[in-house]
């Protein structure tokens, strides 16, 4: 399987690339700083560029069986790069006839907002997470309108730790008591993304994901 990855040098992206290579997948990653992906297993092709560079994005996506978007930005970033970058990826996918997009978003985006604890809803959210949620919601809207085969992963807050392979996931309606364990290991988020490359349980759905 050939996978194109955006955000490969990030916290989750690097775990994803590592796990995909270990599974024998061929990975093409768009990177702004190629040195950041040193020391990974065989099978990685790097394309140097920015996600706003349409030619570099097209080059990354061409020939892929699926695309993973793990783009991110600092909480107070105003660029909206998750949404604009994802729009650029979608254009390239359509031009290259690549159909499957698996993208990171965040728990709290869209109809999952009621799932986040009061600390986030009433304090951290208004203080520092509004731009991030707005960017993810614009990103999710781009994906939902894309006409592609898509899956959106909405993880809880990240923490370090090994891949356990055992974590909870579902759609918003699957949490009747609105109570979730909240954090999740980056390595498990990557594990979930790997599964979404071939599992259709959440096709055309946003899925929350926690430990």
Ligand X SMILES: NC(=O)c1ccc[n+]([C@@H]2O[C@H](COP(=O)([O-])OP(=O)(O)OC[C@H]3O[C@@H](n4cnc5c(N)ncnc54)[C@H](OP(=O)(O)O)[C@@H]3O)[C@@H](O)[C@H]2O)c1
User: Which of 5, 20, 25, 51 contacts ligand X by CB under 6 A?
Assistant: 51
Pattern 18-37, ligand X, x by CB under 6 A: ------------x-xx--x-
User: Which of 17, 46, 47, 82 contacts ligand X by CB under 6 A?
Assistant: 82
Q: Which is nearer to ligand X, 25 or 68 (CB)?
A: 68
How many residues line the site for ligand X (CB under 6 A)? 27
Q: Any residues with CB less than 8 A from the CB of 84 and at least 6 apart, and which? A: 51, 52
Q: Any residues with CB less than 8 A from the CB of 134 and at least 6 apart, and which? A: 80
Q: Any residues with CB less than 8 A from the CB of 105 and at least 6 apart, and which? A: 136, 139, 140, 152, 153, 154, 206
| Cα 50 to Cα 182: distance, rounded to the nearest angstrom | 32
Angstrom distances, CA of residue 115 to CA of 25, 37, 110, 138, 174? 34, 34, 10, 19, 11
Shortest spacing between CB 55 and ligand X, in angstroms: 13
**Interaction between residue 46 and ligand X (CB under 6 A):** no
Q: Are strands 206-210 and 168-170 parallel, antiparallel or unpaired?
A: antiparallel
Furthest-apart CA atoms within the chain: distance in Å:
47
Range in contact with ligand X (rule: CB under 6 A) among 39-47, 79-87, 121-129, 162-170 = 79-87
Q: Which is nearer to ligand X, 36 or 58 (CB)?
A: 36
Would you tell me which residues interact with ligand X (CB under 6 A)?
Answer: 7-13, 30, 32-33, 36, 50-52, 70-73, 81-82, 85, 104, 106, 132, 155, 157-158
């Amino acid at each position: 399987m050939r996978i194109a990855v955006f955000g490969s040098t990030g916290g989750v992206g690097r775990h994803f690339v590592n796990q995909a290579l270990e599974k024998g997948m061929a990975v093409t990653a768009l990177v702004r700083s190629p040195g950041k992906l040193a020391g990974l297993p065989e099978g990685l092709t790097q394309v140097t560029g920015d996600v706003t560079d349409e030619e570099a994005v097209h080059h990354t996506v061409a020939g892929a069986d699926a695309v993973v978007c793990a783009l991110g930005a600092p909480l107070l970033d105003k660029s909206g790069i998750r949404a604009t970058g994802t729009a650029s990826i979608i254009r390239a996918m359509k031009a290259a006839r690549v159909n499957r997009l698996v993208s990171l978003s965040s728990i709290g985006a869209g109809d999952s907002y009621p799932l986040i604890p009061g600390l986030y809803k009433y304090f951290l959210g208004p203080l520092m997470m509004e731009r991030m949620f707005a960017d993810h919601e614009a990103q999710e809207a781009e994906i939902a309108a894309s006409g592609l085969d898509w899956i959106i992963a909405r993880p809880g807050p990240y923490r370090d730790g090994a891949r356990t392979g055992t974590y909870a996931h579902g759609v918003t309606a699957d949490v009747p008591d609105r109570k979730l364990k909240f954090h999740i290991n980056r390595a498990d988020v990557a594990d979930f993304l790997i599964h979404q490359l071939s599992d259709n349980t959440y096709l055309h759905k946003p899925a929350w994901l926690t430990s």
